[in-house]
Amino acid sequence: MDLNYSDEELVFRDEIRSWLAANLPQDLREKVETYAELTRDDLMRWHRILAQKGWVAPSWQKEWGGTDWTPVQRNIFEEECGFASAPPLMLFGLHMCGPVLQRFGTQAQKERFLPRIYNGDDFWCQGYSEPGSGSDLASLKTRAERQGDHYVVNGQKIWTTLAHYADWIFCLVRADPSTDKKQDGISFLLIDMKTPGITVRPLMLMDGVRHVNEVFFDDVKVPVENLVHEEGKGWTVAKYLLGHERMSAGRTGVSKRELAKLKELAASQPGNDGKAIIEDPHFRAKLTRLEVELMALEITNLRFLDEMRRTGQPPGADVSMLKIKGTEIQQTLTELMMRAADPADLEKYEVLARRYFNMRKTTIYGGSNEVQRNIIAKMTFGL
C-alpha cells in the first residue's frame, strides 16, 4: 500500500497548479473567495478559458474533448481547481447532458450538442423534479405526447437551478402514462428554452438569492429528434447519470480550500478571552473533528478512485457515502465559519450566515441524504 501520489502524478499536479495560478482571472478568484454571486458571464468566462486549454471536460470521450486522464488525475485537477478558488463549472451540461449524449445520443445529436456544451455556447439546466415528484422521481407527470414529428409537452418542473440562465433544458417526461411500472414510459428529452409555451418563474430561497425556478410547459412542441435513447427508456438514462453525479459530490478540493479559509478566519476573529477563537478549546475541538472527517472523506474518495482505476468499472452503490459525508462536511464548514465570525461584525456575519443557509440544500438535492442512505441499505446490505 502506498498512499502517496506517484512522481508523475506530482508533476501533473504542479503543472495544473501553475497553469491555474497564471490563468484564473483575479476578479473571478476574488468573487469566489468572498462568496459574491457569480453571474452567468462569470461562470461562462471561466468555462471558456478551460475549454480553450482543453480541460473543461476531462472525463469526456477523447474525440469530444476528453483528456484521457486517469481517475486520480481527474481528482487532482478538481482538487487543484478547488484550492485555487476557481468558479464552479456548470455541471448540467458538462457532467450530465454531455455524458448522457456520449453514452446514448445519436451521432447527429452528439455533433449538434457536444461541441456547443464543450465550448460553453449553450447553458443547460436540469428538469427532473416536479412538485409531486422529488425523492420519488419516477412518479413524474409532465406529459410528452407524440404528434407526428413532434412531442407536445405539458406539465411543470420545480427547483430548476439557473433555468433563468439556460438556453436548453434536459427533461424527464412521461411518454406513456399507461405502464404498470412507473419507471417505464419515461423519456429523456432535450428542450430549447426559447420554445413557445415555456414559462420560467423564480423561487426565492431563504438566503435571498434567485437560484432556482419553476418551469411551466404549456403545449410546448419538441421535435422528435430531441429524444435521447428510446422512447420510454428515460429511466435507464437517469440511472446512468446518478452514478456520475454522486461521484463528484464529495468535492474535497473545495472543502479543503474552505477549511483553510475557516482556519484563517478563526485565527483572525476574537474569542471570549481576548485570544483568537481558534484557541478556544470548544471551538478548536469542533474544527479538529471537521478536519478529521474531511481527511477520512478524502482518503475514502481516493480508495474509490483507485478501485475504478484498477477495475475500469464505475463505482457501486457505496459512492453514496461520498455524497452523504461530502455534503455534511460542506455544511459544517459553513456553520463553523458563521460561528467564528465576530458577532459584532454584522456584515461578515451576514455573508457567512447566508452561505450557511444556502448550503442546507446540499443534503436535500442530488438525491437527498436520506435517499442515499436508503440506497446503501438496499444495494449494499440487501435490506
Partner 1 sequence: MNFESNEEQRLLTDSVRRFIDKDYDFEKRRKIIASPEGWDSNAWAALAEMGVTALALPAEYDGFDGGAVDLMGIMEAFGAGLVVEPFLPTVLAGRLVMAAGSEAQRRAILPRVASGELRLAFAHLERGARFDLSRVGAEAKRTGDAWTISGEKRAVVGAPVAGKLVVSARTPSGLGLFLIDTQDAELKRHATVDGMRVADVLLFNAKAELLGDGAATLAKIEEVNDFGTALVCAEAVGAMKYACDTTLDYLKTRKQFGVTIGSFQALQHRMVDMYIASELSRSMTCLACSKVDATGDAKERAHAVSAAKIKISDSARLISQEAVQLHGGMGMTEELKVSHTFRRLTVIAEQFGDEDYHLTRFGAL
Ligand X SMILES: Cc1cc2nc3c(=O)[nH]c(=O)nc-3n(C[C@H](O)[C@H](O)[C@H](O)COP(=O)(O)OP(=O)(O)OC[C@H]3O[C@@H](n4cnc5c(N)ncnc54)[C@H](O)[C@@H]3O)c2cc1C
Residues labelled catalytic: 245
CB of 342 to partner 1, least distance (A): 6
Does position 92 interact with partner 1 (CB under 8 A)? The reply is: no
List 99, 120, 134, 271, residue binding ligand X (CB under 6 A): 134
Distance of CA 127 to the CA centre of its chain: 14
Does position 365 interact with ligand X (CB under 6 A)? The reply is: yes
Does position 368 interact with ligand X (CB under 6 A)? The reply is: yes
Q: What angle do CA 314, 94, 87 make, to 5 degrees?
A: 115
Segment interacting with partner 1 (CB under 8 A) among 26-34, 36-44, 133-141, 257-265: 133-141
CB of 69 to partner 1, least distance (A): 34
User: Are the beta carbons of 160 and 122 closer than 8 angstroms?
Assistant: no
Does position 58 interact with partner 1 (CB under 8 A)? The reply is: no
User: Are the beta carbons of 205 and 361 closer than 8 angstroms?
Assistant: yes
Give the residue among 111, 133, 305, 156 at the shortest CA–CA distance from 235: 133
Rg of the chain over CA atoms, in angstroms? 22
List 5, 35, 69, 357, residue binding partner 1 (CB under 8 A): 357
Does position 139 interact with partner 1 (CB under 8 A)? The reply is: yes
Q: What angle do CA 287, 290, 295 make, to 5 degrees?
A: 125
List 78, 80, 122, 280, residue binding partner 1 (CB under 8 A): 280
Cβ neighbours around 178 below 10 Å, total:
7
Q: Which amino acid is at 160?
A: T
Task: Compute the distance between CA of residue 296 and CA of residue 336 in angstroms, rounded to an integer.
Answer: 19
Task: Compute the distance between CA of residue 130 and CA of residue 156 in angstroms, rounded to an integer.
Answer: 6
Segment interacting with ligand X (CB under 6 A) among 16-24, 97-105, 295-303, 370-378: 370-378
Q: Which amino acid is at 371?
A: V
Does position 135 interact with ligand X (CB under 6 A)? The reply is: yes
Nearer Cβ to ligand X (74/157): 157
Q: Is 254 exposed, middle or buried (0-12, 13-18, 19+ CB in 10 A)?
A: buried
Nearer Cβ to ligand X (161/187): 161
142 binds, among partner 1, ligand X, none (CB under 5 to 8 A by kind): none
List 212, 227, 287, 305, residue binding ligand X (CB under 6 A): 212
User: Are the beta carbons of 340 and 266 closer than 8 angstroms?
Assistant: yes
Binding mask 171-210 for partner 1 (x = CB under 8 A): --------------------------------xxxx-x--
List 153, 277, 287, 321, residue binding partner 1 (CB under 8 A): 277
User: Are the beta carbons of 9 and 73 closer than 8 angstroms?
Assistant: yes
Give the residue among 81, 187, 188, 167 at the shortest CA–CA distance from 117: 167
Does position 324 interact with ligand X (CB under 6 A)? The reply is: no
Nearer Cβ to ligand X (185/366): 366
Task: Compute the distance between CA of residue 183 and CA of residue 140 in angstroms, rounded to an integer.
Answer: 9
Pairing assessment for the beta strands 150-158 and 210-223 based on DSSP bridges: antiparallel
Does position 267 interact with partner 1 (CB under 8 A)? The reply is: no
Q: Binding residues for ligand X, per CB under 6 A?
A: 125-129, 134-135, 159-161, 211-212, 361, 364-365, 368, 370-371, 374
Q: Binding residues for partner 1, per CB under 8 A?
A: 129, 132-136, 139, 158-159, 203-206, 208, 212, 270-274, 277, 280, 282-283, 335, 338-339, 342-346, 349-350, 353-354, 356-357, 360-361, 363-365, 368-370, 373-374
